[in-house]
Amino acid sequence: MGTRAGHNPAPGRGNRGLVAETPRRTPLPVLAGSIRRLPVNILVVVPRIVNKIGDWYPFPLGIAYISASLKQQGFPVFTLNLNSVEGTVPDLLQAAIEAHGIGLVATGGLTGQYGSIREILETAKRIRPSLITVCGGGMITSAPEHAMEALAWADYGVIGEGELICNSLCSCLAAGKDIRHVAGVVYRDGTRFRQTSGTPAPVDLAGLPFPDYEGLGFADLSQSVPNIWGLCEYNTLPIVTSRSCPHHCTFCFHPSGQKYRERSLDSVFAEIDILKTRYGVKYLSIQDELFGHNKTRVREFCRRIQPYGIQWMAQFRVTDLSPEIVRHLKDAHCIVVGLGIESADNRVLRSMRKGITIEQSEKALQLVYEAGIGIQGVLIFGDVAETRKTAARTFDWWKEHIQYELQLSMVKAYPGSAIYEHACRKGIVTDPVQYIRDACPLVNLSGMSAEDYAWILEQVGRQPLLMYRPPSDVTVQRIDYAAATMDIAGNCVSCGSPNTWHGTKLFVLEPIACQHCRRRHVAPIPNAVADRISTNFDRLLDRFGRVAIWGVNSYYYALSEKLNRNPRYRDTANIVYVDKSELRHGIDVAGHRIHSTDVLRERAVPCVVVPMTNFVAALRKPIQDEYPGVEVVLSISDLLLEDVTGLC
């Protein structure tokens, strides 16, 4: 469905950026080489995933590598990072397309970014129907034909690592040649999609240029605070030193293929030199799926990075850690170690193909904890082998080892993973295209009853509130309502050290870490914040009559308790909680039952508020497309304004 008049992604604003009539979706030519040639200029677009411009976001290194590779080959490339510039997506796209004479728009990302990616492709085609649109990333790689059908507006999809494929595809389009000899491309053939033959070879990492930092506005990222992985400081920047993972966990999918490859450390440190000289990096987030696979390389990395004085974090497998390796990490200023724990039940771990035991995890956790290094780990529930008994065992283990501060989550069947294939075979996922459009809602992969699954969901939602304590003697020094951040001070509950946390995000689950011992704390929800939100809910009820809350996380569990002080908010007839996943329906959140999103039609709900700020950009357009009666989609952070009705 197209964007409706008066309902573009900026709530309450008209479609000023859409000047062309909506094109009919006629079949594209069977082969690009038959009649289509690539016009002069390419626009590489990063999907908007931030709630507000200025928020921290995971820098899209994949797109940055694509942009750099296209430029290296001499293509005229312009870039638009929608996370770095104010304005609506239509306005920004139209300005860039017209200013630079764009003939091809390229974008991409993960399946969870479906709404944001589709908005770029659809908007580009509405602005100029003759534009060629190309999409890549994990979304296409994991389910090429289904993703292309869901996106609807993409002419070509790139499967796998895109640096060489994009170059070859664009070269063929520029010369008007047949694209069928370019392995790794999916294209429209009438009403169907077809993949070109052949399998692309894994990219030789030594031949790649560094990511296009400048083009994608990398400097802006250093001015925001991550508030993830226990990293709560400015100048936290990402880097990739290897690709893929040699293991085959059932819930994982590797967009870069199954072949694990490492960059040379000379190349890695040349890039770190740029990050330090040009961007003043102080905290390095190593984005490898698995950094610790090669112990010799880990030791050498630690030796070389130690003189830089840069703190850093990386992902390790529990069996890759030893007392010696942990000492190297500590001496080299590693402040957070990511570990794949997943479950405390060995039967579930075997089902996940983890190749580890909970006993091995306990040894690794103890090593890291006693070294004073922060731990980033997750326990995920809902595997194929999960039962209420195995889940209860993991919850009990988690409580007994609360010092490790592991997070709780539900497993999701993302396309490309083994559990997704299981869900399709068993008829749990019956419509793969709609599943992508619905942002991959939770599905019950196990044989558990709906009641038992709902019990696990409630525990995952409520238990994290028990994990972290707020700092002692905490004071809120400043609240920036426009940026949805606050500065707070307090003492660590573990080591007693005083801390000041600047730019702490409101509405996020991630805790704040002590700058001395790395113990994590929950940031308080200031009464002033809850009161302003409550007042704005009153205004929304006055304006619209009914308001829906779409999706609830652990943070909103706690906020709901404060909002319930307002009698109008407690009125479940006019404040309704909704979720796409049937498995969440009926769960109680502070007296509110979660309903199907069908309620939006049944009760004619005109206003939706999304509490999970990192999903708003991807959800806004799909919500308004699927539910025409919804007049406005707001982020919970919009309710920090003096009067939210100004957005309506």
Q: Has this prediction a pTM greater than 0.75? A: yes
- In this model, does residue 15 exceed pLDDT 50? no
What average pLDDT does range 179-186 have in this prediction? 93
**How far apart (Å, rounded) are the C-alpha atoms in residues 180 and 187?**
9
What average pLDDT does range 171-188 have in this prediction? 91
Q: Average pLDDT of the chain?
A: 89
Sorted by where each starts, the structural domains of the chain and their CATH numbers stand as: 32-195 (3.40.50.280), 225-411 (3.20.20.70), 472-521 (no CATH), 527-647 (3.40.50.720)
pLDDT band of residue 395 (cuts 50, 70, 90) is very high
What average pLDDT does range 195-210 have in this prediction? 90
pLDDT for 580: 93
Lowest mean pLDDT among 96-105, 332-341, 373-382, 467-476: 467-476
Of 22 and 595, which is predicted with more confidence? 595
**How far apart (Å, rounded) are the C-alpha atoms in residues 605 and 623?**
12
Lowest mean pLDDT among 253-267, 441-455, 599-613: 253-267
* pLDDT winner (highest mean) among 225-239, 451-465, 487-501: 487-501
**How far apart (Å, rounded) are the C-alpha atoms in residues 531 and 644?**
13
**Which position has the token pair 């709901």?**
560
Cβ-proximal residues to 207 (8 Å cutoff; 6+ apart), any chain: none
- In this model, does residue 117 exceed pLDDT 70? yes
What average pLDDT does range 299-308 have in this prediction? 97
> How far lies 452's CA from each of 48, 412, 581, 630, 633, in Å?
37, 17, 15, 33, 33
- In this model, does residue 34 exceed pLDDT 50? no
pLDDT for 227: 61
- In this model, does residue 28 exceed pLDDT 70? no
pLDDT for 426: 96
pLDDT for 218: 87
pLDDT for 636: 96
- In this model, does residue 565 exceed pLDDT 90? yes
> Helix axis angle, 162-175 relative to 61-72, nearest 10°?
40
pLDDT for 21: 29
Cβ-proximal residues to 324 (8 Å cutoff; 6+ apart), any chain: none
pLDDT tens-place string over residues 497-511: 999 988 888 987 777
- In this model, does residue 294 exceed pLDDT 70? yes
**How far apart (Å, rounded) are the C-alpha atoms in residues 453 and 381?**
9
- In this model, does residue 1 exceed pLDDT 60? no
547: which strand partners?
575, 607
pLDDT for 11: 29
Regarding beta strands 592-596 and 588-589, do their DSSP bridges make them parallel or antiparallel, or are they unpaired?
antiparallel
Answer yes or no: are the C-beta atoms of 271 and 241 closer than 8 Å: no
Q: What percent of the chain has pLDDT over 70?
A: 92
Q: Which helix (H) or strand (E) holds 296?
A: helix 295-305
Answer yes or no: are the C-beta atoms of 626 and 115 closer than 8 Å: no
> How far lies 263's CA from each of 64, 278, 329, in Å?
17, 21, 19
pLDDT for 134: 97
**Which position has the token pair 């906020």?**
559
SS3 content of the chain, % helix, strand, coil (to 5): 40, 20, 40
Of 236 and 182, which is predicted with more confidence? 182
pLDDT for 465: 65
Q: What is the DSSP string of 240-272?
A: --EES-S---TT---TT-S--EE--HHHHHHHH
- In this model, does residue 3 exceed pLDDT 80? no
pLDDT band of residue 575 (cuts 50, 70, 90) is very high
Joined together, the tokens standing for residue 414 give 């993302």
